[in-house]
Each structure stands twice: as C-alpha cells, then as structure tokens.
Amino acid sequence: MTIEEIVENALDEDVGTGDVTSNLCVPEELRATGRFVAREPIVLAGVDLLPVLFGEIQIHHKAGDSLAPGDVIATVHGAAELLLTYERVSLNFLQRLSGIATLTRQYVDTVAGTKCRILDTRKTTPGLRQLEKMAVVAGGGVNHRMGLFDAVLIKNNHITAAGGVKRALEASRHAQLPIEIEVRTREELQEALEWGAKRILLDNVTPEQACEFIRMIDGRAIVELSGGMSLENVRAYAETGADFISVGALTHSARAVDINFRLELA
C-alpha cells in the first residue's frame, strides 16, 4: 500500500460523506493559514505525509529532527474549511508517528557507545506498518523484516514443527532470503552453529545468559536479543556484546506526542 493510499483510507474513515460541521459553519470563500506546532520535546516523524494532504505547504523541519516546545513543524495555507477538515487526520499521523520516533530515539540514546543497534518488530498497527517503520528509522532505529515474506525467522514453534534445529535450517537453506533462528539451549545453539546459522535470536534471556551464549558464538553469527526490553534494562543487554536488540514497545506502546494545529484567518 502506498503512502497516498494510507492517507486516503484515513480520510475516508474520518470525513466519510463530508465534514458537516465545517460545511455548515465556515464560509466557503474563507482562506486561512494553519501551523503545526510541537508542544513538548519530540523527535519528528510523519511530516512527509503533509504534502499528500495539503497543496500549499512549507515544511520547516524534516523527519528525525529533535524539536522543542513551540517549534513550528509546518505551515499550510488554503480554504479554511479544507484545513479544518484535514486537521485531525494530519495530527493523528504526526502525533502517532512522532511518538514512535521519540521513543525510538530514547532507546537509541540509552545504548549509545555500544555496538548494539535497536530493531523494530512486526508488533505494529494493522495497515500502518510502513509508516510506523519509517518512524522507527526517523528515531535512529533499524527496520527488521517488513512481514512474513521478506526474511526467514525460525522461532521455537517452527523448530518444534520442523522436528529440530537441523531440520528447520535444512528446509530453509534454499530460500535465498536472510535466515535467523531462535535458540533456547546451549545444545540448540551448538547445533545451529554447526549447520551454518549466521544470525541467532536469543529471546527472553537474562543479560548473564546472553553473555554466556555470546561467548559461545564467538563472532560466528550475528546476535539479536529480544523479550521484555525496556528503557531501564536495555543498556545492560546492549553491553553483553549483542549486535541488535528488538523492541516491540517502539510500535505497540509508544505514546502519541503533543502537537497542536493553530488556525489563523488570512
């Protein structure tokens, strides 16, 4: 789905057959200027959607910029009725996506100085994954797979269904896609390495357990950690020597930030 299609769906949902309040209360010929203003410290995301909604627009900051309260994100011009009709949809996108970028930046800053990078997951809002993953990048994070189609991620249930680590890796080796496998025990880790695994997922381990497994891997595979990551513990996990930490909270628990739309008559 394209960005234009996502925006169109949002407008269809919100406007439906028409904005009856603006149609009744706002003179058709009235023109206005609207300003999107940050009301708290944020990392900006979603600003690229505004030109899809508004024809006359000046964008003052780009995705990934850190903004302070009072900073003007963008200025739009046009019929007052249209600006009011599109106000909520545009704010919903900006507030939600900037919330994701802001939270992502907090995680990225927390692990700064280690080699570890912050990954997103598939725990996204249905229909908005593309935008939410763009917001993660704006915050300094890294996108994991987009969906079930562009990478092989063999988790414990797949291993059980396949009949073991070896069989799962053998079945996947001709996929011509990135392959990652989750391991739960030293035996599974050893078997995965023996059968050529180049990316290992350690899920729901303690930092001490992660250190032990990473010493066993000894640079033979890229290591991702996941499960229960928070701003309070992510630094300890990053210091284990892991290459990546995936954080579902980036997209499933980010708070929408406070952004205001101020209308002024022309």
Task: Select which of 88, 166, 184, 235 is catalytic.
Answer: 88
Task: Select which of 123, 166, 184, 235 is catalytic.
Answer: 123
Active site residue 243: no
State the Cα–Cα distance between residues 43 and 73, nearest whole angstrom.
11
Task: Select which of 71, 203, 212, 258 is catalytic.
Answer: 203
Which residues lie below 8 Å from residue 202, measured CB to CB, with a gap of 6+? 182, 183, 209, 210, 213, 223, 224, 225, 226, 242
Instruction: Look at residue 80 and give its three-state secondary structure.
Output: helix
**Any idea which residue has 């035996």 for tokens?**
187
Task: Select which of 19, 182, 191, 224 is catalytic.
Answer: 182
Active site residue 218: no
Active site residue 166: no
Active site residue 88: yes
State the Cα–Cα distance between residues 101 and 252, nearest whole angstrom.
12
Active site residue 123: yes
- According to DSSP, the residues that pair with 57 across neighbouring strands are 76
Task: Select which of 155, 166, 184, 235 is catalytic.
Answer: 155
State the Cα–Cα distance between residues 168 and 160, nearest whole angstrom.
9
Question: What tokens appear for 30 in the block?
Answer: 């009235």
Give the active site residues. Answer: 88, 123, 155, 182, 203
